[in-house]
Structure 1
């Protein structure tokens, strides 16, 4: 793999995780196929094991809380590429807030994922979300 291809792949994978956070923040569930493969598997304490795009989207829709918004900030992205697949890990800070108000709940997460090169670009095939800490504001 050429250095240029490696760099381009890393940039695209970083963009993928940015799009993942924006999908969650903006509630654009109909765009989930631009982030996940159709056979995606998501493992999280809240959802358990979710399989397939339809199940993941249904879970995200049911998790919406009236008047609550979120801001996901993904950091420390590390991708180990192996051809058309990569193992990815990252940290994520999530702030839950209501419009024009300071966050009322904050959490730190660890993400580990397998991403694959699809015809339309890199997609998340499997992701494990592990909460590390939370803080409720008073």
Structure 2
């Protein structure tokens, strides 16, 4: 694989993590196919194991709390590209807040993901959420 291709892949995967965060923050569930592969598997402490994009979207919709917003910040992204698949992980801090108010709940977690190259670009095929800490109500 050429250096240019590897760099382009890493940039696309970094953008994928950003699209994931914005999908969650902006509750743009109809755009889930820009982040997840159809056969995605998500492992989370709250949802257990969710298989398929429809199940993942249903779970995210059910998690909405009226008047509450979230801001996901992603840091320390590590990407290991191997052809059309990549192992990637990142830290995330999530702030939950209401309009004009300081966050009432904050959590830190690590995301471990498998991304795959699809005809539409890189997508997450597997996501493992590992909470590290929480603070607040």
2:58 corresponds to which residue? 58
Question: In structure 1, how many angstroms separate the alpha carbons of the residues matched to 2:28 and 2:81?
Answer: 28
Matches within 5 A, 1:79-98: 79-98=79-98
SS, match of residue 66 in structure 1? coil
Structure 1 vs Structure 2 CA RMSD = 0.6
Give the equivalent residue in structure 2 for 1:6: 6
Equivalent residues in 2 for 1:35-54 (5 A)? Answer: 35-54=35-54
Deviation at 1:25, TM superposition (A): 0.1
Runs of at least 5 residues in structure 2 that lack an aligned partner in the other structure = none
Task: Tell me the SS of whatever aligns to 1:64.
Answer: coil
**1:14-43 CA deviation, whole Å, 9 max, x = no partner?**
000000000000000010000000000000
**What TM-score results when the alignment is normalised by the length of structure 1?**
0.98
How far did residue 83 of structure 1 move?
A: 0.1
SS of equivalent to 1:103: coil
Aligned length: 137
Instruction: Please name the residue that 1:67 is paired with.
Output: 67
Partner of 1:15: 15
Name structure 1 gaps, 5 residues minimum: none
Give the equivalent residue in structure 2 for 1:124.
124
Q: Does 1:30 align with 2:26?
A: no
Q: Deviations over 1:77-131 (max 9, x none)?
A: 0001100000001000000000111000000010000000000100000000010
Separation of aligned partners in 1, 2:119 and 2:56? 21
Deviations 1:54-89 (A, max 9, x none): 000000000000000000000000001100000001
Q: 2:82 & 2:64 partners in 1: Cα distance?
A: 36
Runs of 4+ in 1 over 6 A off after TM superposition: none
Normalising by structure 2, report the TM-score.
0.99
**Cα separation, 1, equivalents of 2:81 and 2:10:** 8
Give the whole-Å Cα distance in 2 for the aligned partners of 1:104 and 1:63.
Answer: 16
